[in-house]
Amino acid sequence: MKQLKTLLIAAALFIGANQTITAQAKVAHIDVQELMTNMPEMKTAQAQVKKISETYDNEYKTMVTEYQNKMKKYESEATTVTEAVNETRAKEMQDMGQRIQQYRDTAQKELQQKEMDLVKPIMDKAKAAIQKVAKAKGFQYVLDATPGSGVIVADGPSLLTDVKKELGF
């Protein structure tokens, strides 16, 4: 009877240990930033954002140059015109400076929005590929191993090459 009890306890421990081992989750990692950087769509999106940024920069520089030229002209003529004209010119320069500042702020917001609009579908595509590869390989969790993302050690399996294959590059 004592042996049967010992055998049952051993069997229970074996079954419990076996369930603990099988209950462990499979975890992998991927450097999402590296993946996104290497995606051809991302390179195209970055080129579009750069082109738009250059357009905004050129327009901004043109406005600033015009402002500086007017300022020099008004400063050189300040002694030869009336006080009323100088006040009008000062108001004009102040308004022009505000328009330049407003243009810069608006351009910055529009550029950020355009970048988000271009990157979101690329990110969604990458996420879908990561999920597909992870599911095919039996991983329950995939951690982002991008430097600074919070993953301290990433010695386990990396899905980067498999996801690149899935995406076709």
What integer pLDDT is reported at residue 158 of this predicted model? 86
Each residue's pLDDT tens digit, 43-80: 999 999 999 999 999 999 999 999 999 999 999 998 89
Whether residue 128 lies inside any domain: the answer is yes
Report the pLDDT averaged over residues 24-46: 92
Q: What is the pLDDT of residue 5?
A: 56
Q: How far apart are CA 123 and CA 94, in angstroms?
A: 43
70, 139 Cβ separation under 8 angstroms: no
| Residue 145 DSSP class | -
pLDDT reported for residue 49: 96
- Is the residue at 1 inside a domain? no
Instruction: Please check whether residue 16 lies inside any domain of the structure.
Output: no
Segment 20-34 shows an average pLDDT of: 78
Provide the number of structural domains found in the chain: 1
Residue 39's Cβ-count burial label (10 Å; 0-12, 13-18, 19+) is: buried
Q: DSSP letter string over 15-80?
A: HHHHHHHHHSPPEEEE-HHHHHHH-HHHHHHHHHHHHHHHHHHHHHHHHHHHHHHHHHHHHHHTTT
This prediction's pTM: 0.69
- Tens digits of per-residue pLDDT, 96-137? 999 999 999 999 999 999 999 999 999 999 999 999 999 999
Residue 130: both structure tokens together: 């990561």
Stretch 33-52: mean pLDDT: 95
- CATH number of the domain to which 86 belongs: 3.30.910
By residue range, what is the domain housing residue 53? 25-167
Residue 33 lies in a domain: yes
